[in-house]
Amino acid sequence: MNDCIFCKIANGEIPAATIYEDDEFRVILDLGPASKGHALILPKEHAANIYELPDELAAKAMILAKKMATKMTEKLGCDGFNIVQNNGEVAGQTVFHFHMHLIPRYADDGVKLGWVPGTLTDEVKEEVLEKLHE
């Protein structure tokens, strides 16, 4: 992926503030952080989104997210933690190279994530169960 910014960052062609690196991942500080310490887990191998991500990397990314959240919570002294992962423009994805957001949360940090809860109607419940239940 010649024109993918996160490929270049993950593979060290463009410098970034790196807080962790191994053979398969780089974890960098987000340039537009939601909170102090907001970081991104980037696989070095290109996958546009979770649908394209190989299972093995998906599993490793989650284990790495747990490890980073634990370390960041301890070292930064945050009070909570969000792990966010967007797929597709409609879901808020702006860089089309799979990444996981690590967002430390602090009391009264004012960070807004989330949605307005709706109501699960019987009609929708039945429709979704029919489509997805195995």
Residues labelled as active-site residues: 99
- CB closer to ligand 5GP out of 82 and 93: 93
The site partner of 94 among ligand 5GP, Zn ion, none (C-beta below 5 to 8 Å per kind) is ligand 5GP
- CB closer to ligand 5GP out of 16 and 57: 16
Nearest approach in angstroms of CB 14 to ligand 5GP is: 7
The site partner of 1 among ligand 5GP, Zn ion, none (C-beta below 5 to 8 Å per kind) is Zn ion
Token pair of 64 as six digits? 């790495």
Residue from 20, 42, 33, 28 nearest 106 by CA: 33
DSSP type of residue 48: S
3-state DSSP call for residue 6? helix
